[in-house]
Every structure is written in C-alpha cells, then in structure tokens.
C-alpha cells in the first residue's frame, strides 16, 4: 500500500518538475510587436497630393493632360458673350415674325413677293420691283404706286387673284392703286393669336439651334466637353454654367413679355 502511494507521488512530482523545466526555458513575457500606420498614412497623403480629390480647383487633378484643341477659360468668356447675342437675336426674330403674322395679308414683305405676269416681252416680275408698296390705316389699306402706268392692269388682275379683293385705281392718279382689306372677325383674330403662340413656342422650346432652348443646350454641351477635357476647372465650369442659365432666363422672360404684348394687340385690333 505504501509502495503504490509512493510510486504515485513520485510520478506526480516528476510531472511537476518537467513543467517547471519547460516553463524555465520560455521567456517571462511574450514580445510586444509594435504596429505603425505611418507609412500607410503618408502613402495615402502622397496619393491625394498627386491626383486625389483634395484639390478640386486643380483642373488636371486625376485626369490626363488637357486637350489642346479645347478652348481655355479666357476664350469661353467670349463664347458666353456670343451666346448672349444669339439669345437676343432670337427674341428679335420672334418680334419680326410675329409682326408679319399680325399684318396678315397686309405684310409688305409678302405682298412684295407676289409674282405679276406682265406682257410677253417683259415676262414675270415680283410686285416690289414694279411699284412702291405702303400699308396704311392700321393694316387695312394697301397703297401701290406703280412705276409704269401700263403695268396697272396686270397688277390689278394679280392682286384680285391673290387677295380676293378688287383693287381700286385712284381717280386723281392712275398710277396709284388702293386695296382695302376686309375687317377681321373674332375668329380670324383668334387664329392669328394661335399662329403667334406657335411661333413663340418655336423660338422658345424647339430643338432648333436658333431657339432659346437650342442655343442653351448647345452651349451646355460645349462646356461639359471642355470640363471633361480638362481645359476648364470644375469651379470654372460651374461659373460658366450659371452665366448661361442667367442669360437663358433673362431672354426667356423677354420673349414671354413680347409674346403677351403681341397677342394682346392681335386680339384687340
């Protein structure tokens, strides 16, 4: 009994001594490994400096070199001025076109283009080439002063066919022809107002390069191309865009005012 107990004690002691021997060979504390993000941070900073988003005003940041074929900011300033001239001209052209619609058949330009069949020797001539044309009495009377008296009969025949109105030769001057147009009805006035509105929509919103919207869209595409090509910075792109939008609004308001004025005049005449 004592012998077996002694053997067990010796085995336990032997195991304890073995663990102590192993522990004595190990370091008292595991080495502390220090980690640093310094190089990583500096690497990120260097990337930012080279082409990162931290420099929004750098027009070449993160991009290839600017396209030399695209205009610089100094040239685009001039182009924006040209855009303003185009927008202004668009409003003026609407005024001219609307005035012609308001005049209706009494438009000097339209009447002047009427083709007159003269004698076989003289052939065909436009009315404006053989007489002077005047519009009087609030677009109600057309007065023709014929250069050659022998052309009066040809003019009378052509104007009767064109306007369905019989011309009257002035008894005091055989070279003067008066054409009195009928008074407009309420329906005819409304029809003219519709035509004016149609022209307004055309000059305002049509995809034509001569409309306000067309002029604006063309310039905006140009600015986006310059921005993408690196010839202007992001801040310059925003500034030019604001300029174009401001001009577009200005002349859109002018066009709307002109339309309302002409429409009112057409309905009241």
Contact 104, 269 (CB under 8 A): no
Residue 135 pairs with which residues in a beta bridge?
Answer: 142
117 DSSP β-pair partners: 124
CA torsion 154-158-164-169 (nearest 10°) is -30
- Tell me if 118 sits within 8 A of 111, measured CB to CB: no
Distance CA 205, CA 212 (A): 7
Task: Provide the pLDDT for residue 56.
Answer: 46
Question: What domains, with CATH codes, occur in the chain?
Answer: 74-103+185-268 (1.10.132.20), 108-180 (3.30.1360.40)
Contacts of 53 (CB under 8 A, 6+ apart): 61, 62
Whose tokens are 């009969």? That residue is 153
Residues (pLDDT < 70) of the chain are 1-64, 105-106
pLDDT of residue 63: 52
Half-sphere exposure of 77 (CA within 13 A, CB side): 4
Residue bearing tokens 């058949």: 105
């Amino acid at each position: 009994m004592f012998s077996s107990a002694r053997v067990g004690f010796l085995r336990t002691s032997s195991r304890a001594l073995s663990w102590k021997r192993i522990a004595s060979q190990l370091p008292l504390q595991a080495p502390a490994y220090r980690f640093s993000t310094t190089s990583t941070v500096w690497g990120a900073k260097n990337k930012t400096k080279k082409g990162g988003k931290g420099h929004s005003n750098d027009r070449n940041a993160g991009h290839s070199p600017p396209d030399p074929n695209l205009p610089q900011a100094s040239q685009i300033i001039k182009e924006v001025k040209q855009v303003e001239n185009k927008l202004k001209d668009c409003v003026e052209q609407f005024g001219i076109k609307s005035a012609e619609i308001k005049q209706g058949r009494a438009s000097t330009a339209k009447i002047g283009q009427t083709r007159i069949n003269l004698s076989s020797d003289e052939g065909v001539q436009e009315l404006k080439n053989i007489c002077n044309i005047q519009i009087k009495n609030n677009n109600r009377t057309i007065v023709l002063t014929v250069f050659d008296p022998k052309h009066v009969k040809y003019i009378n025949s052509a104007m009767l066919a064109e306007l369905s109105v019989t011309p009257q030769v002035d008894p005091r001057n055989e070279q003067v022809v008066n054409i009195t147009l009928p008074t407009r009805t309420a329906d005819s006035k409304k029809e003219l107002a519709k035509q004016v509105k149609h022209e307004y929509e055309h000059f305002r919103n049509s995809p034509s390069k001569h409309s306000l919207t067309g002029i604006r869209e063309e310039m905006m595409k140009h600015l986006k191309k310059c921005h993408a090509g690196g010839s202007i910075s992001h801040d310059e792109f925003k500034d030019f865009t604001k300029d174009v939008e401001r001009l577009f609004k200005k002349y859109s308001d002018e066009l709307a005012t002109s339309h309302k004025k002409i429409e009112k005049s057409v309905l009241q005449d």
